[in-house]
Amino acid sequence: MLKAEKVGRIGEILDQLYAEQPIPLDHRDPYTFLVAVMLSAQTTDKKVNQVTPALFDHASTPREMASLQVSDIKDLIREIGLAPTKAKNLHRMAEQLVERHDGAIPQTFEELEALAGVGHKTASVVMVQAFGVPAFPVDTHIHRLATRWGLTNGKNVVQTEKDLKRLFPKDEWARRHLQIIFFGREHCPARYHDMDSCPICGFAASEKRKRAERQR
């Protein structure tokens, strides 16, 4: 199967399964969305959504977050993985927003990535979901599926992002990002996966990849 044909078929299946793509992280505005995305690293969206209501009740703006002690933030997010580090980053990020941007969320990759605790993937999620700027955020889960499906041979998420941006039209990036995440959760687990019966792996994965998965 030609790669362009494969990409088209993958897109059709994703659109059929996920015609709507609700943002899985609860938030009130771009700032609270940024906070939720930062908290979601190495933590489930479900756990983040359990923790953020109380956090946002105390600090729903950068100024409110900056006014808290780091220890207070850590206590509010203690159930989240890496809570001590994330608390420090949230506090410093809020200070930087107040100092550099008068409390507003910047709308460029460069300015977002200059904030404490904000990497390229986090910035990409905020840019595409909060501001509608074309981006294709790639985390380890999307990297795993893109590799399984033969869409990339990249050794890291940076190369995978480049490959997916090249393969999918720019106006599809936002929904493909979420659709692939949803598909991975519901149909394409990392371990003990029957690739032959998978709606996408069945045709997109190479026989070599399928053999390798069976031997894991």
Distances (CA, A) of 57 to 54, 65, 76, 143: 5, 10, 10, 35
State the chain's maximal CA–CA distance in angstroms: 57
Amino acid letter, 66: A
Residue whose C-alpha is closest to residue 184's, from 34, 37, 6, 18 = 18
DSSP state of 170: G
Backbone torsions φ then ψ of 119, nearest 5 degrees? -95, -175
Catalytically active residues, by annotation: 121, 139
Tokens 């409110």 label which residue? 64
- CA–CA separation, 200 and 138 (whole Å): 18
Angle between helices 173-187 and 157-167 (to 10 degrees): 120
What is the torsional sign of CA 22, 183, 113, 99? positive
The answer to whether residues 167 and 161 touch, using CB atoms and an 8 Å cutoff, is no
